[in-house]
Each structure stands twice: as structure tokens, then as C-alpha cells.
């Protein structure tokens, strides 16, 4: 067994055998062999060095709002990003990864800066949002990004990438595909405006989310991505049902899951939410195994009944969905 204290003389707080469930919104997951909260860039680099020294893999935790952790936990070093400084110069906002996204949206309202209004209410950290290009109502964080700073875990050096080097797409970015890169901060280019108007837009976003009950407890938000559908008949059924056009031929996964008759479907303590069919919720006693089984069942039924393949949006840690 590696001994935590032998490998570092810093003030890193290294905890051993810590259950990860409380660090996720799903409240699921076994223990991490080691857990380190990185409050500074230097602590992150030390935590990564520690993982190298004990020859264990590492993983990154932001707010845990998009994570499904295995029941066996993580047999390595889990690093929580807690760096949370934010500074502003004119319309440019430099923010570290551990800053809470919704708190950032409220901060920009106070500063009279527009550009993040549609992101209000999305849980998690700024780093997690950049990595998954989080978004809602047609806007994504990548739209506001000027640069992203990352630590390259191969060299432990910090590199700053321009937005056009980040390959942002629908719930996608370069960082999602390349786990060697840890997002440590981002520079956002926002537009000065009237704080009252910006605040009103944020309030509208929050009201829309509230009306759709998007703050549902013990979920990871949308479990599956909204797929691009090429079945014209299905698209027209969707448009007729919703009274509107679908965006870029993407149909909400929740609508498809509902259409396949899977609302309220359960496996053990995991269930398809009644309120929002793309939320798979932990009703209290769900294991990761229950969640995986439910997700696979949902995917299979949607494919068999509607001919559409769903891909998970949630990030699995130690599980295969």
C-alpha cells in the first residue's frame, strides 16, 4: 500500500479511502484510494506528482454534477479542483476552474456583463463546464471563451489555448477527448451591458428551468445527449407534438425516451424521472450497477422502438454504460 505522507513534504491534504458518493449529485460511488483537494495550481501539480510517485492513476472531480462513479470507487488519486479566483478587467473575466458556474453567472450580472445568461442554474464548476461545453437554451460556455488554460499532465506545465484550438461542439471540446489536459482556468470575453437587463435574462433562464423542474435532486442532469435524427417521420412527429422546429435535426433524448414509453422505468433504486425522462435519478438506494443497467435498458428500448442510438452525456468513472 502506498503511504501518503512518505511521498510529499507539502501541505497537501491527502485523505485515504474516501467515499466519492457525497461529491456527486447522483450520490453514487465507492471510495477513492486517495482524495486530494487542490486549492492552487501548485497543489494540483503536487497532487499529480504524488499520483506519479505512487504509480496510481488520477481522476479529476469538479462539482460532480455529471459523474457516475462505480460502486467499487476509484483505485487511484481523485483530485478535486478547488481553485476559485475570479478577476475582471473591462469585459474580460479570468476565472479558475473550481469556481461555481452559477455563482459566476450572478457575479457577471453584478458586473453588468452579458454572455452567460443562458447558463444560469447549470450546476458544477467552470472547469467542468468548459470541458463538456455545458449549455442550455441555445447557448454554451464555449461561445464566451477567449482562451483556456490547461495543465498538461505529461509535463505538468500550463499551456494556454485560444478558443479556436479548443474544438468546442455540442457538449464537446478538445478536453473531453484528451484527458491528459486538465482545465485550470478560462478567460471569458463578455459584453458590457445594463445589469438590470442582464439580471432579468438570468431570472428568465432560472424561471424556465424551474418550470421544467430541471433542478431535480440526485441526478446528473441529462443522462443522454440529444441525438441527431435522420428519420423524417420521427422529426415531423416531434415537431407536431412540440409545436416547433427541431434544432439541427437534434431531438431531445427525453422526448424519445418518453415516446418509447419508458418514463418511470426502474431498475433497483434507479429510475427514469417522471418529470424529465432524460434524467435518470437515484431514488435513494441506487447503486452504480442499477444506473448502468437502467441506462442500457433505456438505450436498447429507444433503439428497438425508434431506431435511434443514444449516447451518454454523463461521464462514467470506472463503469461502462
Ligand X SMILES: Cc1cc2nc3c(=O)[nH]c(=O)nc-3n(C[C@H](O)[C@H](O)[C@H](O)COP(=O)(O)OP(=O)(O)OC[C@H]3O[C@@H](n4cnc5c(N)ncnc54)[C@H](O)[C@@H]3O)c2cc1C
Instruction: Scan residues 273-292 and list those touching ligand X (CB under 6 A).
Output: none
Q: Which of 175/306 has CB closer to ligand X?
A: 175
* Binding test (CB under 6 A) with ligand X, winner from 30, 73, 115, 128: 128
Active-site residue, selected from the candidate residues 118, 173, 222, 273? 222
DSSP states of 142-172 as a string?
GGGEEEEEEEETTTTEEEEEEGGGS--BTTB
Radius of gyration of the chain (CA): 20
- Who contacts 35 (Cβ-Cβ below 8 Å, separation ≥6)? 14, 15, 16, 18, 20, 77, 78, 80
* Grid coordinates belonging to 225: 445527449
Among 7, 25, 260, 281, binds ligand X (CB under 6 A): 25
Under the criterion CB under 6 A, does residue 65 sit at the interface with ligand X? yes
Contact status: 30 vs ligand X (CB under 6 A): no
- The reply on whether position 66 binds ligand X by CB under 6 A is yes
Minimum distance, C-beta of residue 233 to ligand X, in the bound complex (Å): 28
Contact 229, 252 (CB under 8 A): no
Active site residue 266: no
Catalytic residue status for 10: no
209 is catalytic: no
* Gap between the Cα atoms of 186 and 98, Å rounded: 11
In the list 74, 99, 168, 175, the residue contacting ligand X (rule: CB under 6 A) is 175
Cα distance between residue 187 and residue 201, in whole Å: 22
Set 163, 171, 263, 266: catalytic member? 171
Among 70, 97, 114, 186, binds ligand X (CB under 6 A): 97
HSE of 232, CA atoms in CB hemisphere, 13 A: 0
* Interaction between residue 174 and ligand X (CB under 6 A): no
User: ∠208-209-213 over CA atoms, to 5°?
Assistant: 120
Question: Among 12, 48, 105, 129, which residue sits at the site for ligand X (rule: CB under 6 A)?
Answer: 129
Residues that bind ligand X (CB under 6 A): 25, 59-67, 81, 97, 122-125, 127-129, 131-132, 134-136, 175, 182-183, 214-216, 219-221, 315
Active site residues: 171, 222, 313
Amino acid at each position: 500500500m502506498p503511504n501518503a505522507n512518505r511521498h510529499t513534504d507539502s501541505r497537501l491534504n491527502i485523505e485515504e479511502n474516501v467515499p466519492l458518493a457525497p461529491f456527486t449529485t447522483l450520490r453514487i460511488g465507492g471510495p477513492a484510494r486517495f482524495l486530494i483537494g487542490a486549492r492552487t495550481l501548485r497543489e494540483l501539480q503536487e497532487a499529480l506528482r504524488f499520483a506519479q510517485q505512487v504509480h496510481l492513476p488520477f481522476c479529476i472531480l469538479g462539482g460532480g454534477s455529471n459523474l457516475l462513479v462505480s460502486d467499487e470507487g476509484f483505485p487511484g488519486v481523485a483530485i478535486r479542483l478547488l481553485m476559485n479566483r475570479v478577476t475582471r478587467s473591462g469585459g474580460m473575466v479570468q476565472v479558475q476552474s473550481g469556481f461555481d458556474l452559477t455563482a459566476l453567472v450572478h457575479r457577471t450580472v453584478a458586473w453588468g456583463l452579458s454572455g452567460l445568461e443562458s447558463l444560469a442554474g447549470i450546476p458544477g464548476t467552470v472547469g467542468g463546464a468548459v470541458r463538456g461545453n455545458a449549455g442550455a437554451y441555445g447557448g454554451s460556455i464555449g461561445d464566451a471563451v477567449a482562451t483556456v488554460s490547461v495543465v498538461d499532465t505529461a509535463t505538468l506545465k500550463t499551456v494556454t489555448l485560444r478558443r479556436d484550438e479548443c474544438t468546442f461542439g455540442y457538449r464537446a471540446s478538445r478536453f473531453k477527448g484528451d484527458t491528459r489536459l486538465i482545465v485550470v482556468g478560462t478567460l471569458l470575453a463578455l459584453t458590457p451591458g445594463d445589469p438590470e437587463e442582464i439580471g432579468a435574462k438570468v431570472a428568465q433562464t432560472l424561471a424556465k428551468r424551474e418550470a421544467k423542474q430541471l433542478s431535480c435532486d440526485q441526478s446528473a442532469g441529462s443522462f443522454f445527449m440529444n441525438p441527431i435524427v435522420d428519420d423524417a417521420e420521427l422529426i415531423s412527429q416531434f415537431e407536431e407534438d412540440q409545436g416547433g422546429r427541431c434544432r439541427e435535426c437534434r431531438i431531445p433524448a427525453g422526448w424519445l425516451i418518453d415516446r418509447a414509453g419508458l418514463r418511470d422505468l426502474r431498475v433497483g433504486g434507479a429510475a427514469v424521472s417522471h418529470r424529465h425522462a432524460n434524467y435518470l435519478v437515484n431514488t435513494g438506494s441506487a447503486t452504480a450497477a442499477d444506473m448502468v443497467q437502467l441506462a442500457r435498458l433505456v438505450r436498447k428500448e429507444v433503439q428497438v422502438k425508434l431506431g435511434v442510438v443514444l449516447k451518454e452525456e454523463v461521464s462514467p468513472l470506472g463503469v461502462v454504460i
